[in-house]
Structure formats: C-alpha cells, structure tokens
C-alpha cells in the first residue's frame, strides 16, 4: 500500500465545517458519502497490497473467485459482468489480463457458438486459493475493525444498496 501522509486533523470534519460555513446543505450526507469514498480507497489499497504478490488486483481476484465458485469453472463473459456488476468492457479487460497470465482461458460455448466462456485454469485455481488465504489473513484490509463493527458496517450499508437496486 502506498504510504499515507497523515494530517494533524480530520479532513472530512474540516470539509464538513467548510460545507456548513458556505451553506451548501445536507452536510450529513456529504460527510457520509465522503467517508464511504475515503474508506473504499483505504480498503482497496490494502486489498490490492495483499493481492500484489499474486499479480492480482481485487477486480481480477473477484473474477477468478467467481469462476472458481461456478459449477463448471466457466461462465459466459456477459454473466461475469452481471454477477460482478461491471461493464462488459471491464470484463473483457479483466479476462484479457487473466488469460495473458495463464489463469483463465476463453472457450466456445457448447450450447451457443456466439457465446464465449471464460474458464479458470488449474493455475488459476491454485492462485485464487492462495490469494483468498492472503486476503483472509489481511482481513480484507479491515484488520482495524472488530467483528461487531464489521457487521455494523454491513448493516449500515444494506439499505443504501437495496434502495439503489443492487438486489431485490
């Protein structure tokens, strides 16, 4: 993880003071959104650091894990995008990199010649299992939070995800 230069004050709290001083409205929402965005940056940097020894980023790990969990070890490219909730271009870029690294291969679908499957290789299975162990050891970058607070974070974000249509 790149070094963080700590400040001698909370930048989000300072943003709140400025927001309120200028009368821009909804400071609680601004502070919550800014805190979520900053937390995402911190967690992703920590997760990517844990995955770096495996040549993976979190997005590539997610794709490998999804393929590893699938019954046949393969999924159509479109289904990968749907399951990971990412744009098809992102799936293509992710699979390209995994394929170049020998962790995934593209195969034609038996049922539909127009459909291309991404299939995890034996090396991909080995790497994803080792990477998952490293992520678990690093507690997904959330090592500073006890179990109860981890559940609280999940519970606090659930209504936002539900309202956004993340799931039914």
Residue 16 structure tokens: 């709140």
4 pLDDT more than 80: no
Give phi and psi for 107, each to the nearest 5: -140, 150
Confidence of residue 3 (pLDDT cuts 50, 70, 90): low
- The answer to whether the Cα torsion of 46, 50, 80, 83 is positive or negative is negative
Percentage with pLDDT > 90 across the chain: 88
Beta strands in the chain (DSSP E): 74-76, 104-108, 116-120
Q: What average pLDDT score do residues 40-48 get?
A: 95
State how far the Cα of 63 lies from the Cα of 76, in Å rounded to an integer: 12
Query: 83-98, pLDDT tens digit by residue?
Result: 999 999 999 999 999 9
**Spans of all domains in the chain:** 11-141
Helix (H, G, I), strand (E, B) or coil at 108: strand
Say which DSSP state 1 is in: -
* CB-CB contact of 111 with 105 (8 Å): no
Instruction: Quote the pLDDT of residue 1.
Output: 47
> Over the chain, what is the mean pLDDT?
93
Q: Given 3-state DSSP classes, what are the helix, strand and coil percentages for the chain, each rounded to the nearest 5?
A: 65, 10, 30
Helices and strands, counts by H and E, the chain: 7, 3
- Kindly state the average pLDDT of the residues 141-166: 94
Mean pLDDT within 69-81: 95
Q: What is the largest CA-CA distance in the chain?
A: 63
Reported confidence tier of residue 11, pLDDT bands at 50, 70, 90:
very high
Q: Are 75 and 111 in contact (CB under 8 A)?
A: no
The tokens for 30 are 């601004």
Annotate 28-52 with DSSP letters as a single string: HHHHHHHHHHHHHHHHHHHHHHHHG
- Quote the pLDDT of residue 113: 78
> Under CATH, which architecture does the 11-141 domain have?
Orthogonal Bundle (1.10)
Q: Which of 42, 86, 38, 40 is nearest to 62 (CA)?
A: 86
Taking only the tens place, the pLDDT of each residue in 60-73 is: 999 999 999 999 99
pLDDT above 60 (res 130): yes
């Amino acid at each position: 993880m790149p070094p963080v230069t700590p400040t001698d004050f909370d930048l989000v709290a300072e943003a709140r003071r400025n927001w309120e001083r200028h009368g821009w409205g909804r400071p609680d929402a601004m502070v919550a959104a800014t805190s979520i965005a900053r937390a995402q940056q911190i967690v992703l940097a920590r997760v990517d650091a844990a995955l770096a020894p495996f040549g993976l980023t979190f997005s590539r790990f997610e794709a490998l894990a999804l393929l590893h969990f699938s019954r046949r070890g393969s999924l159509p490219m479109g289904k990968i995008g749907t399951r990971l909730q990412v744009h098809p271009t992102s799936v293509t870029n992710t699979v390209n990199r995994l394929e170049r690294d020998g962790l995934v291969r593209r195969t034609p679908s038996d049922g539909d010649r127009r459909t291309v499957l991404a299939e995890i290789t034996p090396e991909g299975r080995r790497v994803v299992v080792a990477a998952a162990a490293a992520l678990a050891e690093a507690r997904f970058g959330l090592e500073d939070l006890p179990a109860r607070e981890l559940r609280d974070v999940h519970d606090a974000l659930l209504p936002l995800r539900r309202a956004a249509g993340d799931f039914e």
